Chain A
């Protein structure tokens, strides 16, 4: 009591004070400024730490706090904490969800329903099918019904819309306020229709199309509901199928369960969560919830409905509660109830965490915290409005648990929310979205008490979860178990578990791949048992066929192909027939693709009668459309393998060209195009019957159909003989030229393509092209706009190049050369690319002096005016033109060089690099024009730029110098070589690959041709630098380095170089040693082996493994390189090899064996058999080695011996062991025998041992004893 009074008093006092204040300075509370609102709404006190501000950029402030002493600019500091993202870009991509990269069209897969099983006529035999089973007839009937319904609905909607439009026009004056009023009203009506249930259904039905946001009048809307399962739910409440349909739905199964036929699916248990029932529950506000006092304000609930999080079907979030409330006691397939977008999942995932921590305290908790006395619970102020940030409200509104089915359990405050709940029994971690599928695994039930079916189901679920989320070993064993027990589990339980998983909206690529793999394996095992499930599987797998990922498409094809082999053609057709004239274009599209896969799996002839029937369907144009599309897809899929069936395929679809439906005509033309493309260059006779309708068609059609017809013609003309091609081209050209002006982008591309195809055909004459096509073509296509679109650009260049191939360079280049000075850079680039390709193809002999002048002028202009040239178009074009003009460029060279020099001095690195690159391209031509002085000058200029700091540019400058040196030779080079080389030595240290490569090439060139200009001391210095380059990653660099060693050794004598190299054998790094051995071998080759061998063999005496192996390896390379020359040295090195072949170290023997091999191959037939047999005796005992490299080397050595000594000798070594009592020995000997046999079968005939005859078997070969 006294507390009350006290509070009342305080409040009263405060109000008084404020009034006083207000009256005192009435102007301070400025009503115009702050509006006329009640001041109670203002925040009267400022919080201590401002949450909102902190959240705005917490990272920023955090960094600022931690790195207060840093003085780097903020932008840099901001970048610092971003380490992990870079890791992701380095190749380990984060698992990507499929849905994130799908477009709206592809997402329509989620609208499909996994249809109930169907009757398997084969399994049932003669029996009449049970009434509860869905037969083909049922499905067809449903389809027909559905079609009819959809069409009626569409008609109604159309009429409605027309009426409404008429009305709207009438009231157009007062439209704005009316519309504003209409919007909230519509919402309400929607809600009401829920409340009064089925009675309102009729009304809702009539207004249904209004509830659809952005409903496109045609396909878009009606296509969304293609599936049989939905037929029944349509009856009570069609109208309500509005926004709920937009969420993707595995949960749609709930609908299909409600169908009368749905009783077949195990998931048919009426779970009470049918889609129809829930919304009602949702809309009833639940104000009595204990969760928060403040939520009781009705406003929250009222506006809650449209939010995504408020969908009735959001499943339980993990970790909140022990899972498995009332819902989960129902058998599982009905558990997954939820259409839930991935966005929702994510929101849920983190919202849950935050909300759990920050949720409002309950009354009980507050009671526990505060003392009982001295406090009073106040009414919330009238102006209080709960927080309205949508993110927070997402969970403030009832989560699924809030539905009447479920009461919020006692909260367990001690629960750890950041630790994922441990799954029992060694199961892998579950993601939140997995709970709706696998949740029941978490129930700690005693497995023995379950019924056998339930046990089986549980087992399948466990295995699937392991496949989906488990570690690789878990996955592997689970996959194997699933495969092995597939027949035991049965098709039904397996697919009822697997397929819904594949419809999960948050599926990732990897998971899909694994699940598809499961299906594939299981298919093999189940074979004909899959028949009732074919359609189900197709619904899930068909979307893979249009996935943008190539491997997904291949996977999809493989599955469907296996499926059709398992189920057979009849079942496949029965399963897919109803989808052929589905109203949804998406369904028809995927079905057509699936059919083409079936055709490639089971053979086209098998499918032909069916296709023929479909393509001639009288009932619906959709069926004909799909039928023809199947033919197109077949052509695309199997390519030239259509040839044997080409005639029949064309016959099947040809009538489609005259179909009354425009879409059918279009797809027919496209299919013909695909067939012609697949058949090229054969099969023109099969197209005879369609030529007339096609050519007639292009005169009567416009727009899309015309484009398709043109495309077909474009692909058919190249198949024709020359005379016909010319005739038909002239026929079509009139239309093409008319369409040159078409503004339609798609038409433009097709026209360009067709022109290209026509022009490249044999019978089309150059004169005709020149007079009839070129003028219009250039007028309409060679415009700036074409350069802006990448595809147009490429197509135009290709077509023009093709024309140039016919009419010659001068015509084409003459027309576009002026455009090199156009003001639009992309356009100039397009011109340049065309000129480059034309000139490179056909040369420049056609170009007269005037055109030549214009060309060079234009190119110089375009080259100078370019702002960026990432694709090197300008550079390539310049190079191509200059090279093809050859000596005719001479007059322009000073100007070109002036440009180059000027650009070499440019501020931009790219420009400098390009200028240097240009020098290396035109150096050869400059030499042809005898402009050596100019080149010398350029050489000096380049030499001066060797201090360049950008490695890319430096590399190009070195490349340019190399080109000049190559062309004018060492003696005439300016700067003189003796000045140039010392300048290069330090550059060898540069670690940039481009610099290294160009530098080593240049140095190698000088060492090769002009070594005498440089003192030996300088070369030795370079040798040391080169050693480092042996480590380069790029093979080209290592090779160039090794070659350079050879040149240097030749120039200054091998001794010093060899000493350096032999020392290098002692280093630890393997790569380095390998390259060194190669270099030694090269030195030996260039300076003759006798200069190197003594030092090398002497080095073998060093008691160090690496060195000895290096020596052996050098020997191996050496004998490989010197080949026949080896015959002079074989006796010298034999003692060394003897020793090596007897060494304990495996690598010694291995390397020595490979040296022996090279030696044997080199000296074959040169009379060194004695030494070789001697070595062979040392090699042979190694045949029992097991280390792969060693045994490989030994076998190769023996092969070498076979070549050098003859097969007979080796056979004699072999014979002793072929029938050895020990199997291990026999195996090795037979291996050697076999390789001997394969290598020299014929030679063995003379050397086979004489076997003694047995009782009735004659083994002797008397013919060999014959003798005249």
Chain B
């Protein structure tokens, strides 16, 4: 990186992005990305009421139950993280 680049917005961009939960980086693995995807999905389902209603109808559950289930699933959406082979 050149000296002049050190202070411009581009160099800070990644830092800025890193502040948001759910953003990724070059060392992200499949599992971590998938967890983010799942959580985003559940958050989205809960956030859009018609979606929630749709799922409730199709699963034959109440909307509240459905919301609760989704929230519970956000906890460990993909199960336990896999063992890391390299370290």
- Chain A residues proximal to chain B, CB less than 8 Å: 1188, 1191-1192, 1218-1219, 1223, 1226-1227, 1230-1231, 1233-1235, 1237-1238, 1241-1242, 1244-1245, 1248, 1251, 1254-1259, 1261, 1263-1264, 1266-1268
- A1237 / chain B contacts, CB cutoff of 8 Å: 20, 22-24
- A1251 / chain B contacts, CB cutoff of 8 Å: 30, 34, 37
Interface size on B, residues (CB 8 A): 36
The answer on a CB contact under 8 Å between B17 and A1235 is yes
Taken together as a complex, chains A and B put the C-alpha atoms of A1227 and B5 apart, in Å, by 17
Given contacts A1248-B41, A1251-B30, contact A1257 B54 (CB under 8 A): no
The answer on a CB contact under 8 Å between B82 and A1241 is no
Please name the residue on chain A nearest to B34 by beta carbon.
A1259
Return the CB mask of B1-37 against A: 1 if under 8 Å, else 0.
0001100111001100100101111101011011001
The answer on a CB contact under 8 Å between A1244 and B40 is yes
The answer on a CB contact under 8 Å between A1268 and B57 is yes
Any chain A CB within 8 A of the CB of B59? yes
- A1248 / chain B contacts, CB cutoff of 8 Å: 37, 40-41
Given contacts A1256-B79, A1266-B58, contact A1261 B38 (CB under 8 A): yes
- Residue of A1238, A1257, A1258 near B23 (CB, 8 A) is A1238
Taken together as a complex, chains A and B put the C-alpha atoms of A1254 and B30 apart, in Å, by 10
Given contacts A1188-B8, A1230-B24, A1258-B78, contact A1245 B34 (CB under 8 A): no
Taken together as a complex, chains A and B put the C-alpha atoms of A1234 and B31 apart, in Å, by 17
- B4 / chain A contacts, CB cutoff of 8 Å: 1188
The answer on a CB contact under 8 Å between B22 and A1267 is no
Taken together as a complex, chains A and B put the C-alpha atoms of A1223 and B22 apart, in Å, by 20
- A1263 / chain B contacts, CB cutoff of 8 Å: 41, 45, 55
Any chain A CB within 8 A of the CB of B44? yes
The answer on a CB contact under 8 Å between B34 and A1231 is no
Please name the residue on chain A nearest to B37 by beta carbon.
A1248
- A1255 / chain B contacts, CB cutoff of 8 Å: 82
The answer on a CB contact under 8 Å between B24 and A1218 is yes
Shortest beta-carbon distance, A549 to chain B, in Å?
28
- A1219 / chain B contacts, CB cutoff of 8 Å: 30
The answer on a CB contact under 8 Å between A1234 and B58 is no
Taken together as a complex, chains A and B put the C-alpha atoms of A1188 and B4 apart, in Å, by 9
Any chain A CB within 8 A of the CB of B47? yes
- A1266 / chain B contacts, CB cutoff of 8 Å: 54-55, 58-59
Taken together as a complex, chains A and B put the C-alpha atoms of A1251 and B78 apart, in Å, by 11
Shortest beta-carbon distance, A1185 to chain B, in Å?
11
Any chain A CB within 8 A of the CB of B75? no
Shortest beta-carbon distance, A126 to chain B, in Å?
49
Given contacts A1188-B8, A1241-B40, contact A1256 B80 (CB under 8 A): yes
- B77 / chain A contacts, CB cutoff of 8 Å: 1258
The answer on a CB contact under 8 Å between A1227 and B37 is no
- B34 / chain A contacts, CB cutoff of 8 Å: 1251, 1257, 1259
Known: A1234-B14, A1254-B30. 16 other contacts (CB 8 A): A1188-B5, A1192-B10, A1218-B33, A1219-B30, A1231-B14, A1231-B17, A1241-B22, A1245-B40, A1245-B44, A1248-B37, A1258-B78, A1258-B79, A1261-B38, A1267-B58, A1268-B54, A1268-B58
Taken together as a complex, chains A and B put the C-alpha atoms of A1218 and B20 apart, in Å, by 18
- A1254 / chain B contacts, CB cutoff of 8 Å: 30-31, 82
Shortest beta-carbon distance, B66 to chain A, in Å?
10
Please name the residue on chain A nearest to B57 by beta carbon.
A1268
Please name the residue on chain A nearest to B29 by beta carbon.
A1219
How many A-B contacts if CB must be within 8 Å?
88
Shortest beta-carbon distance, A1191 to chain B, in Å?
6
Given contacts A1235-B17, A1261-B38, contact A1230 B25 (CB under 8 A): yes
Given contacts A1192-B9, A1257-B82, contact A1238 B17 (CB under 8 A): yes
The answer on a CB contact under 8 Å between A1257 and B9 is no
Taken together as a complex, chains A and B put the C-alpha atoms of A1261 and B78 apart, in Å, by 10
The answer on a CB contact under 8 Å between A1223 and B23 is no
- Residue of B8, B13, B24, B38 near A1233 (CB, 8 A) is B24
Return the CB mask of B45-80 against A: 1 if under 8 Å, else 0.
101000000110111000000000000000001111
Taken together as a complex, chains A and B put the C-alpha atoms of A1226 and B33 apart, in Å, by 14
Taken together as a complex, chains A and B put the C-alpha atoms of A1255 and B28 apart, in Å, by 19
Please name the residue on chain B nearest to A1231 by beta carbon.
B14
- A1256 / chain B contacts, CB cutoff of 8 Å: 79-80, 82
Taken together as a complex, chains A and B put the C-alpha atoms of A951 and B64 apart, in Å, by 76
The answer on a CB contact under 8 Å between B78 and A1257 is yes
Shortest beta-carbon distance, A1261 to chain B, in Å?
6
The answer on a CB contact under 8 Å between A1231 and B58 is no
The answer on a CB contact under 8 Å between B58 and A1242 is no
Shortest beta-carbon distance, B85 to chain A, in Å?
13
- Residue of A1223, A1230, A1233, A1242 near B44 (CB, 8 A) is A1242
- A1242 / chain B contacts, CB cutoff of 8 Å: 40, 44, 47
Please name the residue on chain A nearest to B42 by beta carbon.
A1263
Shortest beta-carbon distance, B69 to chain A, in Å?
10
Taken together as a complex, chains A and B put the C-alpha atoms of A1234 and B5 apart, in Å, by 20
Taken together as a complex, chains A and B put the C-alpha atoms of A1218 and B41 apart, in Å, by 19
Shortest beta-carbon distance, A1124 to chain B, in Å?
29
The answer on a CB contact under 8 Å between B55 and A1188 is no
Given contacts A1233-B24, A1256-B79, contact A1245 B14 (CB under 8 A): no
Please name the residue on chain A nearest to B18 by beta carbon.
A1234
- B26 / chain A contacts, CB cutoff of 8 Å: 1223, 1226-1227, 1230
A-B contacts, 12 listed (Cβ < 8 Å) = A1227-B25, A1231-B17, A1237-B20, A1241-B40, A1248-B37, A1257-B34, A1257-B82, A1258-B78, A1259-B34, A1266-B54, A1266-B55, A1268-B58
The answer on a CB contact under 8 Å between A1234 and B24 is yes
Taken together as a complex, chains A and B put the C-alpha atoms of A134 and B55 apart, in Å, by 80
Taken together as a complex, chains A and B put the C-alpha atoms of A1267 and B54 apart, in Å, by 9
The answer on a CB contact under 8 Å between B20 and A1238 is yes
- A1235 / chain B contacts, CB cutoff of 8 Å: 13, 17
- B40 / chain A contacts, CB cutoff of 8 Å: 1241-1242, 1244-1245, 1248
Shortest beta-carbon distance, A720 to chain B, in Å?
46
- Best-buried of A1242, A1263, A1266 by chain B (most CB within 10 Å): A1263
Shortest beta-carbon distance, A655 to chain B, in Å?
52
- A1258 / chain B contacts, CB cutoff of 8 Å: 77-79
The 3 A-B pairs of least Cβ separation, nearest first, read A1234-B17, A1226-B26, A1234-B23
Taken together as a complex, chains A and B put the C-alpha atoms of A1257 and B76 apart, in Å, by 10
Shortest beta-carbon distance, A1215 to chain B, in Å?
11
- A1227 / chain B contacts, CB cutoff of 8 Å: 25-26
Taken together as a complex, chains A and B put the C-alpha atoms of A1264 and B78 apart, in Å, by 16
Taken together as a complex, chains A and B put the C-alpha atoms of A1258 and B82 apart, in Å, by 11
Shortest beta-carbon distance, B10 to chain A, in Å?
5
Please name the residue on chain B nearest to A1192 by beta carbon.
B10
- B45 / chain A contacts, CB cutoff of 8 Å: 1263
Shortest beta-carbon distance, A472 to chain B, in Å?
16
- A1192 / chain B contacts, CB cutoff of 8 Å: 9-10
Shortest beta-carbon distance, A1 to chain B, in Å?
86
Taken together as a complex, chains A and B put the C-alpha atoms of A1137 and B82 apart, in Å, by 48
Shortest beta-carbon distance, B1 to chain A, in Å?
9
- B57 / chain A contacts, CB cutoff of 8 Å: 1268
Please name the residue on chain A nearest to B81 by beta carbon.
A1257
Please name the residue on chain B nearest to A1268 by beta carbon.
B58
Taken together as a complex, chains A and B put the C-alpha atoms of A413 and B42 apart, in Å, by 93
Taken together as a complex, chains A and B put the C-alpha atoms of A1248 and B77 apart, in Å, by 15
Taken together as a complex, chains A and B put the C-alpha atoms of A1111 and B68 apart, in Å, by 58
The answer on a CB contact under 8 Å between A1231 and B13 is yes
Please name the residue on chain B nearest to A1233 by beta carbon.
B24
Taken together as a complex, chains A and B put the C-alpha atoms of A1219 and B26 apart, in Å, by 8
Taken together as a complex, chains A and B put the C-alpha atoms of A734 and B29 apart, in Å, by 80
Taken together as a complex, chains A and B put the C-alpha atoms of A1263 and B33 apart, in Å, by 18
Taken together as a complex, chains A and B put the C-alpha atoms of A995 and B52 apart, in Å, by 67
Shortest beta-carbon distance, B86 to chain A, in Å?
15
- B82 / chain A contacts, CB cutoff of 8 Å: 1254-1257
Shortest beta-carbon distance, B11 to chain A, in Å?
9
The answer on a CB contact under 8 Å between B47 and A1191 is no
Please name the residue on chain A nearest to B45 by beta carbon.
A1263
